[in-house]
Structure 1
Amino acid sequence: MGLSWQQGQLSAGAIGRFLVPEPLPKRLLYVEPLRRRMRVRFGGNWIADSEQVVLLFEPARYPVAYFPEGDIVPGALERIDHTTQHADLGITSWFAVRAGDQTAPRGAWQHTGLPAHASELQGHVAFAWRAMDAFYEEDERIIGHAADPDHRVDIRQTSRKPVVTRGGRVVADTTRPLVPFESGFAPRWYVPRDDINASALTPVEIQTFCPYKGVCSHYDIGDARLAAWSYPQAYAEVVRISDFVSFEPDKITVHLDGKQLHLEPGQTVIAHGVDRELTIAEVSPSHKR
């Protein structure tokens, strides 16, 4: 996410540039060792367990974990008569994944026509994230997609002054916001509940989650749909923003120190639903294992 998605270094919307005399190719792929134990659970069984996983980063895509064939349980993969063509990595062969009484018809794939410069992926298999029951790093469940080791969320206290209004009505006004500086995103301004007119926020049933911050609740403000959000119980790594509220500057008027904010190009967020029919309880911090 930090490296290849949103405004990361390998994305089309990168805010920086590589200091080289010639333009780089529009599509740059990057692979690196994960250096963490990673496991896959399917059909009530562990079907892959490896300390040699590699992550593939492609522009505008989340990182994808590839497992060495030798670290996959024998019999879990059945090659099927289906191939696709990857724009950069050649022919891709697909597998049905079988374990217990479950089958995922196109649950895994392998690049079988790799160019010489992509040898790190030789003999490696990736599993379709949403088709599997769960993925784990060490003993903690990873939700949403493979975690990007380069993704950071640095939270800072500041005395800058966000003011949120709707139709001339003040919704939030504070001099003590928290600012998460998150890889690939412009800064977001989070306001403590005590500095918000609570009557202006209408909770909606939609809940999403961020693999780095946790389960997210959303609010309408008047006729502005999904104009605010909050992480009621943010993950331990970002617990400081728990129950603070942030606002979408493209849906409601937000000023910072008197200057109106606007959603920056490339900053539209594609929110994760609770995938694989997980419940909110299952993706909460106390149920990640």
Structure 2
Amino acid sequence: MGLSWQQGPLATGAIGHFLTPEPLPERLLFAEPLRRRVRVRFNGTWIADSEDVVVLHEPGRYPVAYFPRGDIAWQALTAMDKATRHRDLGDTAWYAVHAGDRTVERAAWEFTALPAHAAELQNKVAFAWRAMDALYEEDERILGHAADAYHRIDIRSTSRTLDVRLGGEPIARSERPLVLFESGFAPRWYVPRADIDETRLRPVEGRTFCPYKGLCDYYDVGAAHRAAWSYPEAYREVDRIGGLVSFEPDRVEVTLDGTSLHLEPGQGVVPHGADRGLDPDEPTDRRGG
């Protein structure tokens, strides 16, 4: 989630509000130094290497990393004729990126007529994430989008009883579920497979990718399509939920200590912007160099 998407404080769907006497602007953008070394690799060539990256948080988008011009192998960029205009940050110039025998158009961009209050983005360039081979922090590959210091996941054990039914028929019942708290999301409840009637789960094609949890598999539960999901090889940071199953409370009946759970609005994950499209094509190897 972070600051600016899902239900974060700068997102259009924020569930909280700032305690100020006057209303804030409809849109707030937030930029800050990342304070990490970030590198960009394209067609086997390092084309950017910087410890002075600025991350832009913009409502409705994943965070975007901007690199100082002086930290970019400028011979790898060619200015394109086409320009666009950002609603808040002005004119935007686009670049083709090339190395060896490979060229990708509209693979990088730069704001060229920034308002005075956005000067920290002056002479900085962002790269379309999916157009690059990979981006790294030090020697570890960063998947999904630029590092978001405001995204957090906590996993907690509980003795509360989670009950899952479909049309009144039992699907799962657990007195030891795990609850996953993720920035900007309602709590998600994960059930050990020993507490599930797995004959009611039917694997379906189509996986999704989460940059914080890994690759996600889905299941139909009876006629309820993709009503359950699991991270079979969850990243080590969240390995407590690895292989456990969570159920979508708008597709099956989920109760917690007898209280019905409901899907909160604004919980869907949607890719935004030229820099990013989250899908399972992301490699799972996070090492590089």
Q: TM-score, normalised by structure 1?
A: 0.95
* AA aligned opposite 2:242: S
- SS of 1:17's equivalent? coil
Q: Distance in 1 between matches of 2:213 and 2:286?
A: 13
Deviation at 1:23, TM superposition (A): 0.5
Deviation at 1:260, TM superposition (A): 1.0
Corresponding residue of 1:201 = 201
Cα pair 1:177 1:191 within 8 Å, conserved:
yes
Q: Distance in 2 between matches of 1:269 and 1:170?
A: 29
Corresponding residue of 2:6 = 6
- SS of 2:194's equivalent? helix
Q: Distance in 1 between matches of 2:163 and 2:147?
A: 34
Q: How does 1:87-126 map to 2 (within 5 A)?
A: 87-126=87-126
Deviation at 1:205, TM superposition (A): 2.1
* AA aligned opposite 2:30: Y
- SS of 2:238's equivalent? helix
Corresponding residue of 1:254 = 254
* AA aligned opposite 1:45: T
- SS of 1:179's equivalent? strand
Corresponding residue of 2:150 = 150
Deviation at 1:133, TM superposition (A): 1.3
Structure ranking higher on relative contact order (CA contacts 8 Å, 6+ apart): 2
Corresponding residue of 1:23 = 23
2:280 aligned to 266, 274, 279, which one?
274
Decide which moves more: 262-271 or 31-40: 262-271
Deviation at 1:274, TM superposition (A): 2.0
Cα pair 1:234 1:241 within 8 Å, conserved:
yes
Q: TM-score, normalised by structure 2?
A: 0.95
Decide which moves more: 212-221 or 261-270: 261-270
- SS of 1:78's equivalent? strand
Q: Distance in 1 between matches of 2:192 and 2:242?
A: 9
Cα pair 1:30 1:58 within 8 Å, conserved:
yes
Cα pair 1:162 1:177 within 8 Å, conserved:
yes
* AA aligned opposite 1:97: V
- SS of 1:219's equivalent? strand
**1:44-94: CA deviations, max 9, x gaps?**
111111111110001111000000011111301111101101000000000
Q: Distance in 2 between matches of 1:200 and 1:223?
A: 10
Corresponding residue of 1:288 = 286
* AA aligned opposite 1:50: S
**1:72-123: CA deviations, max 9, x gaps?**
1130111110110100000000000111111111100000010000011001
- SS of 1:2's equivalent? coil
Q: Distance in 1 between matches of 2:270 and 2:118?
A: 29
Unaligned runs of 5+ in 2: 272-277
Q: Distance in 1 between matches of 2:199 and 2:53?
A: 49
Q: Distance in 1 between matches of 2:51 and 2:139?
A: 13
Are residues 1:161 and 2:167 paired? no
Deviation at 1:144, TM superposition (A): 1.6
Aligned Cα root-mean-square deviation (Å): 1.1
- SS of 2:233's equivalent? coil
Deviation at 1:124, TM superposition (A): 0.3
Corresponding residue of 1:63 = 63
Q: Distance in 2 between matches of 1:228 and 1:91?
A: 44
Deviation at 1:149, TM superposition (A): 1.0
Deviation at 1:269, TM superposition (A): 2.8
* AA aligned opposite 2:36: R
Deviation at 1:15, TM superposition (A): 1.2
Q: Distance in 2 between matches of 1:26 and 1:78?
A: 35
Cα pair 1:147 1:211 within 8 Å, conserved:
no
Deviation at 1:157, TM superposition (A): 0.6
Cα pair 1:111 1:122 within 8 Å, conserved:
yes
- SS of 1:238's equivalent? helix
**1:156-196: CA deviations, max 9, x gaps?**
11111111111221111001111111001010000011101
**Matched residues, percent identical?**
66
- SS of 1:226's equivalent? strand
* AA aligned opposite 1:73: A
* AA aligned opposite 1:29: L
Deviation at 1:256, TM superposition (A): 1.1
